[in-house]
Amino acid sequence: MIGKNDDNSNAMRFITAYNTIDNALRSIYNFKRSMSYSDIIRRSASLNYVVRKYEDKLIDYGRLRNAIVHSSYEDVIIAEPHIDVLEEFEKIANLLSTPPKALPAIASRDVKMLDSSTPIADVYKLIYQKGYKNIPIYNDNALIGVANAGKMAEIIGRVIACGEDLDSFVNNTNIGEVLMEAVDDNYYVIVSSQITIEQVMELFNSNRKLLVVLITPNGVLTEKAIGIITVGDVVDMNRILDLY
C-alpha cells in the first residue's frame, strides 16, 4: 500500500521494532555503531538463543526494513508488512529488549538443601521419597556441590564395581565427602536472580553437560538457592519464549 507516513501504520511499527532490536543488541554486546544490522545479527546468533532461533528471519526482516525506508520518495511508505510478519517481528523485539526473567516464570522455588554431613543413605531416601532429583549441598553456608540423582547412581555403580560394601558405604559416607572428590563439576552453575530465560537457554546450549542451574540472589556460593532449573525445563522455557 502506498501512502503518507502514519505512526500507527504497519510500516512504522515495523521500523520501530527494527530499531528496538538493533539498539538492544548493540547495548547488550557493546557492538560498534559502525557495524551493520546484518553483521550484528550474525554475531549475536553465536551468543543469544533468541537471535539464533530467528536468525534467518531477522536477516530477511532487515532487508524488508531497507525496502521500506531506502526509498526515493520522501515521507511516503512504499511497502506495508503483512500483519503476521509485523507481529512476529514485534515479538522478537520484546524478547530482546524486555526478556522474561527465569525465576518467576520457570524456576522451581521449592529447593531442598542439605548439609554436607548428611549420610548418602539419607540423600537417597530423600530422592526416592520426595522425588528431588537435584539437591544443593552446603558446608558452613557455602555451596560445595549438587547431589544429582544421575550422578549419585554413577557413584553407587562405582562402589559395586569396586567390590566395596554398599551398605557400609551409603551409611558411613557423607555426601560432602563424595562431592568434594568429584572432578566433573561442570554439570551445575550458579546464577543471579536477574537471569533471563534466554540466558538460561544459552547456558544449556553452550554446555552439553549442564544439568542444573541454581539461582541465588546475587549468584554467589555463599547464598542459599532460591530457585532451580534443570535440563528437563528446556521444553517449558521454549514454550514460554514462543508465547511471550
Tally of CA atoms within 13 A in the half-sphere of 127 that contains its CB: 18
pLDDT score recorded for residue 63: 93
pLDDT score recorded for residue 7: 62
Tally of CA atoms within 13 A in the half-sphere of 194 that contains its CB: 4
pLDDT score recorded for residue 135: 95
Name the strand (E) or helix (H) holding 237. helix 234-243
pLDDT score recorded for residue 108: 78
pLDDT score recorded for residue 70: 67
Where do we find the cell 522474561?
100
Q: How many CB atoms lie within 10 A of CB 20?
A: 18
pLDDT score recorded for residue 165: 94
118-127 exposure pattern, b = at least 16 Cβ within 10 A, e = fewer = bebeebbebb
**Rounded to two decimals, what is the model's pTM?**
0.86
Fold of 104-243: CBS-domain (3.10.580)
**Which among 207, 194, 203, 239 is positioned nearest to 103, based on CA atoms?**
194
User: Which sequence spans correspond to the domains of the chain?
Assistant: 3-98, 104-243
Residue spans of the chain under pLDDT 50:
1-4, 72
